[in-house]
Structure 1
């Protein structure tokens, strides 16, 4: 059995990335938060996300309870697993899981930063910190069999780079995840506008859209007043930089795409100005 380990801090998107990584390396089983997932289906264990407290969740994730570990070890020996992906918050946690399940040596260590961009990681951390959402990389119907106490937020289809569907993840709100912070779209629009409304060439903002569903995207429709000889692309780039810097400063988010639409341009001569 060939063992892969994916590690990174909590909330950085490991479970979200697990199915795509498994598809890429032809991995047919995953250990994630107390579950053994074989060919996209839960076959043994219990998710740490079902626990009521953070301490219980951590113990579940590292197979602290012997009965839980034994059930998963039995399933690992039962199924024809050629490659196994183990998820953890650190190499130390991976080794704890390795010992608890008597797994062979780990052949490949993968840091979450190697497969997700900085923007994706910051967006995932923002979502975890504000919405308290966690991902389980199995279909919703399997989650619903066990997870009856808290809201199941939604289901995400996972696609390969070739756009073929390779699996499904379920987003849940565990009981141990208390509290949410709501950042309204209006507040995010104001961050975008106020970051560059002082720029002398902006006449008005006609529309601003912000979407942080996956990675942050900002779209700005503006009117310009420019002088002869000014480069519109350079001015648009200035807006992009101001918006990028503002979201990074105030929300610790890296905006992956900033689209600038210039819907109206008024040209003035320097003398008129």
Structure 2
């Protein structure tokens, strides 16, 4: 059996991408969060997401329980997959799982940051912190509703580059998830407005459009200082960087694009009030 490791920090989108990566590598079996999954179906094990506390979830994911180990070992021996991918938060974790299951040494190591940008991983973490959503790389029918007190819903279908369906996911909200962070639309727009207010080059913002998902996008129409027209492009680029940095510091997410349009020039700064604002926060 060829053993593959796929790792990355918690909440960065590993389970969402696992089926696609497994398809690319022609891997038919996956170990994820305590589950043994074969061709999209649960064969053995219990998901760590079924646990009632974060501590127990970690213990489940690393196969600390001997009975859990034996159940998955037996299933692996019966099915005997040609290739097996072990998913974890680090190489150290996947190596430990491989040792516990007795499947041999890991021969290939892959990491989420090889396939996802920093922006995408931060947004995945943001969704985890604000919505508590966890992805399981199995179809909805494979997940037992009674394990959860809260959300269980169909995720999305995974397709290959040739438009072939290669799997499905399920979205769950485990009982052990910490309290969610709550942000309102105005929290995001006020962050943008404050950076503009602090800029000596921006006299006014006449329009602001903001969309949060799938990655943040902002479009601003500005009144620019008539006294600062030299190297305007550089100063506007600096403003984009400052807005993105402020977002990263406050919400730990980054913009996909920030579009700045100068409407006209003025010599005096006005109290910053958005005259027209369209802010959308939706999937």
What is the distance in 2 between the residues matched to 1:184 and 1:159? 34
How large is the RMSD of aligned CA atoms in angstroms? Answer: 2.6
Quote the offset at 1:2 in angstroms. 1.0
Distance 1:103 1:183, change over 3 A: same
What is the distance in 1 between the residues matched to 2:259 and 2:3? 45
Q: Deviations over 1:144-180 (max 9, x none)?
A: 4553422125513334455554322222111111311
SS in 2 for 1:171: strand
Residue aligning to 1:47 = 47
Quote the offset at 1:36 in angstroms. 0.8
Residue aligning to 2:216 = 217
SS in 1 for 2:254: coil
Residue aligning to 1:78 = 78
Deviates more, 1:169-178 or 1:192-201: 192-201
Query: 1:95 aligned to 2:78?
Result: no
TM-score normalised by the chain length of structure 2: 0.82
SS in 1 for 2:129: helix
Quote the offset at 1:115 in angstroms. 2.3
Residue aligning to 1:258 = 257
Q: Which runs of 5+ in 1 are unaligned?
A: none
Deviates more, 1:129-138 or 1:17-26: 129-138
Q: Deviations over 1:88-139 (max 9, x none)?
A: 1222321221122110211111232222222222222222233322211111
What is the distance in 1 between the residues matched to 2:83 and 2:64? 23
- Give 1:164-175 correspondences, 5 Å limit: 164-175=164-175
Quote the offset at 1:80 in angstroms. 4.7
CA contact (8 A) 1:32 1:61 kept: yes
CA contact (8 A) 2:206 2:223 kept: no
Distance 1:237 1:167, change over 3 A: farther
Deviates more, 1:162-171 or 1:33-42: 162-171
TM-score normalised by the chain length of structure 1: 0.85
